[in-house]
Structure 1
Amino acid sequence: MSDAPDHSGHRARLRQRLFQGGPDALMDHELVEYLLALAIPRRDTKPLAKALLKEFDGIAGLLTADAEALARVPGMGETSAAAIKTAHAAALRLLRARVTEKPVLANWQAVIDYLRADMAHHKVERVRVLHLNSRNMLIRDELMSEGSIDEAALYVREVIRRAVDLGSAALILVHNHPSGDPSPSRADVEVTRNLIDAGRRLGIAVHDHVIMGTEGHASMRGLGLI
C-alpha cells in the first residue's frame, strides 16, 4: 500500500502531459504503461510496457498482436490483453472512418494508412477484399481467408460470388506478407489476373491488388503488373 501514492502521482503526471501535449507528449512505452495502468491499477506497469514493446518489436506490432500472443507474455492477463486490443480496435475505427468519407480512389492515402495499421504486422497471411459501389465508395471490407505463416488461399470463384451477392461494382484485393517484403510473387500476379478476367465477364472491375508488409506496401496497378 505504501507505494500506491507514487504510482498515482506518476500516472497523474502522464495524464497531464497527455492532456496538454497530445499523443506526441508521451513516448511509446509511456502510452502503453498508462493504458495498462487502467487495466492493472495497483501495479507498476512500466516494466511490463517495455517488455511488451520489446517482445512485439514496437507499438505497431504490439497493437496488432493477437490476444493469445499477448497473454503469453509474463504479467499479462485477459483484462490487460483486452485493453491492448481495445486500443487497436479504436484506432482502426478512426482510420476506417476516414476511408468511408470519400471515394476510395480519391482517398488512397487514407486507405493505405488503414490497411497498414490492420495488416502490416500480422504473423500469418490474410486476404481481404474491399467491395466498392459504382461511385467507388466502400460498401464492405471483408476478410476472405487466413493462411499459414507464408500462404493464404484466394479462391476466385468465392470472391466473385461474394461481389455478386453484394452488388459490388469494383474490388480491391489486399493481403499481407509476414516476411515484411511486400514485393508481389508470381502467384500473386497470376491469381489477380484470373480475378480480373472473371470479374470482367460480369462487369466487376478489379482496381488493384495491394500487398502490405512491415517494409512498406506494393500496388500491382502502380507497378504495371495488372
Structure 2
Amino acid sequence: MPNNPSYIGHRERIREKFASAGLDSFLDHETLELLLTYAVPRKDTKPIAWALLKKFGSLAAVLDADPDQLSQVNGVGPATAQFLKLIRAVFKKYSLSEVKERITIRTPQQVLEYCNASLAGKQEECLEIIYLSVRNTVMGTEVIASGLIDRVAVSPRKIVECALAAKAPAIILVHNHPSGDASPSQEDIELTRDVVRAAELFGISVHDHIIIGKGSHYSLKANGKI
C-alpha cells in the first residue's frame, strides 16, 4: 500500500489544533492554511498560504483582496478566491449583527468594529450610512456612494433623502480613505457640516462621521469638527 501524502497528516493536525485551542495561538500563515483546507482539495495548503502572505503582506490584506488578485497566486483558483471573499463577507455580517444586538449606540467606539469590517481594505472610497432609531438602536446600513480612490461624489440632499426613506431619526456617516490616512480633508469636513444643516431641517440628527484608514480611524464628532 502506498503511503498517504504528507499533507494529509498536516491537514488533520492543524484542524485538531484549532478544535482543541481555537485560533488564539495561530499565526497568520496557519490561519490561512486552515481556511484553505476547506477550499483546496488534495493539495498541501502551506505553500499556498505563504504565497498569499508574500503577495499581500498580511491575513487582513488577503481577505480584503479582490478575487481576480487572489487568483493570480499559484494554487488559488476561482472557487478558492470566492471562498476567501465569503469569509470576509461573513465577518462583515457578523460584525453588523453584533452592533444591532446592542441596546444603544452612544460612542463612535461602539460602531468602530463594524465600520472596520465594512470598509477597511476597500480599494475605492465608499460612503456608508448607519441608520439609528430614536433609542439609538441600529435600524440598518446602506452604502450610498463609491468612486475613485481620491473622492466620493455625493450630495447632502442625497444623504438626507436616504435617511428619510429609511425613516431614521438619526444617522452616523462612515467612509474610508484607501490611502490609509484617516485624517479628514477639508471637503470631508464641509460635506459633513452641510449634511448636519440639511438634516436638521427634517429633524434628523447626525451623530458622527467616522473615517476609516489603515489601522486607524477619525471621528469628526470627537475631534470637534461637527
Q: TM-score, normalised by structure 2?
A: 0.93
Give the structure 1 partner of residue 203 of structure 2. Answer: 203
Q: TM-score, normalised by structure 1?
A: 0.93
Is the alpha carbon distance of 1:200 and 1:6 closer, same or farther for their aligned partners in structure 2, counting shifts above 3 Å?
Answer: same
Indicate conservation of the 8 Å contact 1:95/1:110, yes or no.
no
Distance 2:96 2:141 in 1: 10
Is the alpha carbon distance of 1:116 and 1:71 closer, same or farther for their aligned partners in structure 2, counting shifts above 3 Å?
Answer: same
Distance 2:174 2:14 in 1: 38
Indicate conservation of the 8 Å contact 1:14/1:34, yes or no.
yes
Q: Secondary structure at the match of 1:116?
A: helix
Is the alpha carbon distance of 1:192 and 1:107 closer, same or farther for their aligned partners in structure 2, counting shifts above 3 Å?
Answer: closer
Give the structure 1 partner of residue 25 of structure 2. Answer: 25
Give the structure 1 partner of residue 170 of structure 2. Answer: 170
Q: Secondary structure at the match of 2:98?
A: helix
Give, in angstroms, the shift of residue 107 of structure 1.
Answer: 6.5
Is the alpha carbon distance of 1:225 and 1:7 closer, same or farther for their aligned partners in structure 2, counting shifts above 3 Å?
Answer: same
Indicate conservation of the 8 Å contact 1:104/1:111, yes or no.
no
What aligned pairs does 1:147-158 form with structure 2 within 5 A after superposition? Answer: 147-158=147-158
Indicate conservation of the 8 Å contact 2:28/2:59, yes or no.
yes
Greater shift after overlay, 92-101 or 12-21?
92-101
Distance 2:127 2:63 in 1: 19
Is the alpha carbon distance of 1:150 and 1:119 closer, same or farther for their aligned partners in structure 2, counting shifts above 3 Å?
Answer: same
Structure 1: 5+ residue runs without aligned partners?
A: none
Indicate conservation of the 8 Å contact 1:181/1:215, yes or no.
no
Give, in angstroms, the shift of residue 16 of structure 1.
Answer: 0.9
Give the structure 2 partner of residue 102 of structure 1. Answer: 102
Distance 1:3 1:181 in 2: 53
Is the alpha carbon distance of 1:19 and 1:154 closer, same or farther for their aligned partners in structure 2, counting shifts above 3 Å?
Answer: same
Structure 2: 5+ residue runs without aligned partners?
A: none
Give the structure 2 partner of residue 45 of structure 1. Answer: 45
Which AA in structure 1 matches 2:135?
A: R
Give, in angstroms, the shift of residue 104 of structure 1.
Answer: 4.7
Q: Secondary structure at the match of 2:203?
A: coil
Is the alpha carbon distance of 1:5 and 1:110 closer, same or farther for their aligned partners in structure 2, counting shifts above 3 Å?
Answer: farther
Q: CA RMSD in A?
A: 1.8
Is the alpha carbon distance of 1:104 and 1:47 closer, same or farther for their aligned partners in structure 2, counting shifts above 3 Å?
Answer: farther
Distance 1:172 1:153 in 2: 18
Give the structure 1 partner of residue 183 of structure 2. Answer: 183
Give, in angstroms, the shift of residue 103 of structure 1.
Answer: 4.2
Give the structure 1 partner of residue 62 of structure 2. Answer: 62
Indicate conservation of the 8 Å contact 1:208/1:219, yes or no.
yes
Indicate conservation of the 8 Å contact 2:182/2:212, yes or no.
yes
Give the structure 2 partner of residue 122 of structure 1. Answer: 122
Greater shift after overlay, 28-37 or 212-221?
28-37
Distance 1:184 1:103 in 2: 30
Give the structure 1 partner of residue 80 of structure 2. Answer: 80
Q: Secondary structure at the match of 1:16?
A: helix
Q: Deviations over 1:124-168 (max 9, x none)?
A: 111111111111111121111111122112221111111111111
Distance 1:209 1:98 in 2: 20
Indicate conservation of the 8 Å contact 1:120/1:180, yes or no.
no
1:92 aligns with 2:92: yes
Give the structure 1 partner of residue 159 of structure 2. Answer: 159
- The alignment-based identity, stated in percent, is 39
Q: Deviations over 1:63-104 (max 9, x none)?
A: 122222222333321110121112112222221121001245
Indicate conservation of the 8 Å contact 2:108/2:210, yes or no.
no
Give the structure 2 partner of residue 140 of structure 1. Answer: 140
Is the alpha carbon distance of 1:3 and 1:59 closer, same or farther for their aligned partners in structure 2, counting shifts above 3 Å?
Answer: farther
- Number of aligned pairs? 226
